[in-house]
Amino acid sequence: MKRREFLKVITTTGVAIAFKGCFPTLSEEPDVVFDGSESDAGKISGLWDKLQSMAKTPYEQLKVGLLQNEETKILRIWIDDQGHVCFLDGETGQGGSLRFGWKKFSPSIKFTDSDGNILMDGKNEMEYAFWGDKQAPALAAIDTGQWFLWAIEAVAIGLGVWLVAKVGVFLLSALAFVAFNLMVLALLLAAGAVIYATAKLFFGATGITLDDVKGWFLGKVEDINIFIRQVAEDLGG
Q: How many CA atoms lie within 13 A of 218 on its CB side?
A: 11
Per the structure, the count of domains in the chain is 1
- For the cut 80, the answer to whether the pLDDT of residue 1 exceeds it is no
Alpha helices by DSSP H, 61-209: 144-162, 169-188, 197-206
Q: Percent of the chain scored above 90 by pLDDT?
A: 49
Of 150 and 194, which is predicted with more confidence? 150
Domain that holds residue 96: 3-234
Other CB atoms within a 10 A radius of the CB of residue 138 amount to 6
pTM for this entry: 0.83
Q: What is the pLDDT of residue 158?
A: 94
- Residue 57 CB partners (closer than 8 Å, separation 6+): 79
pLDDT in tens, 73-88: 999 999 988 888 999 9
Q: Does residue 201 have a pLDDT over 90?
A: no
